[in-house]
Structure 1
Amino acid sequence: METTWAFDGKRYRMYRFADDINTEMKKLNRSDNWHSGVAWLIDIAWMALCAWLCLAVSWWFYPLAVLVIGARQRGLSTILHDCAHGSGAANRRLQMLIGTVLTAYPIFQQHYAYKLSHVFTHHPALGNPERDPDLRFFIQQKAYEVASPRAYVRRIVLMPLFGTQTWAYLKYLVTNRYRMHKGRETQSSSGTRTLRRHKRVLDRLGFWAFWLVVAGVCWWQGWLPGLLLFWVVPYLTSFQLLGWYIELSEHTPLVRDSNVDLYMTRNRKSRDWEKFLTGIHNDNYHLEHHLDPRTPFWNLGKARKARLADPGYVAVDAVLGGLFTRGPQGQPSAMSAIVSSMTEPREQSRAVTPGKDLPAGRVRRHARGRRTAPGADRAGEHADLPDRRL
């Protein structure tokens, strides 16, 4: 079945919030010079604790250590992410230090490659199946290919637990977060004007200098086995695994069904162990980030609370659950919502008749110009929501 996209050749539309909410957002968009550093120290402390448990207590802790270290490496990527957006620290030099030596280089990424791929391409091209690199990856991995529930769950949800998507996701990271293709630069020429060539060269040199120093010190001190066991193995396993599910949940299949930013991304209401592993540094508030990328990660929860004054946002928020777990009020998980939207039509997906299933007049215009009842949209989470645009 051929996929029909809401993308209409133009940039997505921005949902309009009230002036008082926008005023509150301006306050929350102020960065500082300590939150990112403290977050980095917390990540390092958790990794050190995991290594200590294995070395000093028992190697039976190693599988747990691999999982937690990989999750905390993902935490480093969240800090890098904010630095790439310019919200990681108020001081630009400190932000560059954090966004390169402390976060990007340790997880085998380059700051400017990340900035080009994510800030200058993914964000402005969100929902564009030809230009959005994140969306293109999941299209290539058949996440947008409709299938039977059993086949889709096996291919997209279950088998990746056994590493079937690890190599593909790693290749995607190398392509988009380490390498910087000339073709991609041409596509994003408006953004690459700010990326001076000498900065990109310094970034590449800094990356290799960092790893030469790390590898040299570890070889000199006899720590190479530790580097492999407590850094490389978690990166190649749990970091890739968690990244697949987290990034799958962020936009799938919402960008297929709408070109209004409020309906193109989801938060995850993860709790307990799920939040500990997949919501580090508020990584679960992805909708807040796309509504305003200037908001630093430590204020994303406050941003959500402020936007709850908007009824359209409340309607979106009310249907969101966790990544694999249900939400606080029993909302379906993100994985469940994705499977429901990407599997072959079932009886509950039938078109809704206005006047019978819905109050008369509650028919809105789809992004591509079709008139459909709200309940007939394919994105079950956002099916019955107001469509207020610029």
Structure 2
Amino acid sequence: MIGASELLTPQQLAEVRKRSDLRGLWVVFHAWAVIFGAMAVFVWFPNPITFLVAVAVIGARQLGLAILMHDGAHGILCHNPRLNMFLSQWLCAYPMLAETGAYRRYHLKHHANTQQPEDPDLILSAPFPITRKSFRRKMIRDLTGQTGYQQRRAQILNALGPSDWTLSRRLENYWNKLGRPTIAQAVIFAILAASGHWYLYFVLWLLPFLTWQQAITRIRNIAEHAMVPDNSDDFRNARTTKANFIERALIAPYWVNYHVEHHLLMWVPCYNLPKTRAFLIANGFGPRMETKGSYAEVLRMATSRPDDEDQRGKLVHNARRQRVTGTMNEGFQPTDGTAA
């Protein structure tokens, strides 16, 4: 593990590690403003184009909420610890049916053992590259809601507990695991119902959550760790992907594409990652950092396995999926077959 003082000067370190309550509040407010703003645009101009745009924009901001929860789990979303946890839990994690503490326990194991045998996410990055046919099947499952439905079904069944439990015990277990996220869903529904548009909860909250958010979570996860050049090199066991305006709006919100920088200095808030990259490049580390020019370039790599290997890949995927399913019941977990 490379020490921070080997990467940045004391002045640079002091600058990038600054946590701001105002900026933390702003990015969370921004996510929700974009979500409700996209809904409003569809209500004002209801047509297929504004609907599809709203689904994509809202799904991306839902991923954004998960990303901001990730910063909250690291304790870096805000300077004030109480504000950090409140925003992370009630405005980011719970609306995404996740929980900051459960995610933190899982995620820190990933940071401690990145791309090593003990990495809980290694089994998710290992399958790549895959065939185009395999990737197409995954995207169809994501975009049609099959992946999201299976994950949420497993999560709810896990929260309810075994069927032979008494009803009171099952309800108590459900409350302990999903009670607060359920309250968050009820609040979102109530806000939309109070606006006179209750149906938006189903068509522009749940639908993006189960479809577009799933698909771009897969793409983002592939970009972060799949097919990295060197699992033992801190500069090359994660990947930063350059993102244009459209990609930042629809695939990689809130600087999530700066993943090498995050792994090198995981206590840097997401809003300071671009500055961190600039400092690292200025200090001569640019050529060492694994970087790709776009998400399209990463996906070309990820789908470079010949299609005649597709049947064998399906058998490996199905066996792997059975082992992975149990990790998806708490916190914010990646979609099947991707790296986190």
CA distance change for structure 1 residues 52 and 220 in 2, over 3 Å: closer, same or farther? closer
Alignment of 1:1-390 (within 5 A): 14-15=1-2, 19=6, 21-23=8-10, 24-60=12-48, 61-119=50-108, 121-129=109-117, 131-139=118-126, 143-144=127-128, 152-156=131-135, 158-163=136-141, 167-168=146-147, 204-215=178-189, 223-254=197-228, 257-311=230-284, 313-317=285-289, 320-324=292-296, 333-340=297-304
1:233 alignment partner AA: L
Structure 1, residues 290-313: CA drift from partner, whole Å, max 9, x if none? 1111000110000001001344x3
Q: CA deviation at 1:318?
A: 7.9
Aligned residues: 290
Q: CA deviation at 1:20?
A: 6.8
Q: CA deviation at 1:320?
A: 2.1
CA distance in 2 between partners of 1:38 and 1:17 (Å): 27
Q: CA deviation at 1:38?
A: 0.8
CA distance change for structure 1 residues 322 and 179 in 2, over 3 Å: closer, same or farther? farther
Q: CA deviation at 1:51?
A: 1.1
Sequence identity of aligned pairs in percent? 23
Q: With a CA cutoff of 8 Å and minimum separation of 6, indicate the structure with the bigger relative contact order.
A: 2
CA distance in 2 between partners of 1:28 and 1:173 (Å): 37
Q: CA deviation at 1:113?
A: 1.4
SS in 2 for 1:239: helix
CA distance in 1 between partners of 2:8 and 2:158 (Å): 39
Q: CA deviation at 1:205?
A: 4.2
Moved more, 229-238 or 23-32: 23-32
Q: CA deviation at 1:21?
A: 1.3
Q: CA deviation at 1:62?
A: 0.6
8 Å CA contact retained: 2:58, 2:208: yes
CA distance in 2 between partners of 1:179 and 1:112 (Å): 17
8 Å CA contact retained: 1:251, 1:266: yes
Which protein is bigger by CA-based radius of gyration? 1
Q: CA deviation at 1:321?
A: 1.0
1:88 alignment partner AA: L
Gaps of 5+ in 2: 160-174, 308-340
8 Å CA contact retained: 1:46, 1:69: yes
CA distance in 1 between partners of 2:236 and 2:152 (Å): 26
Gaps of 5+ in 1: 1-13, 181-200, 325-332, 345-390
Aligned to 1:197: none
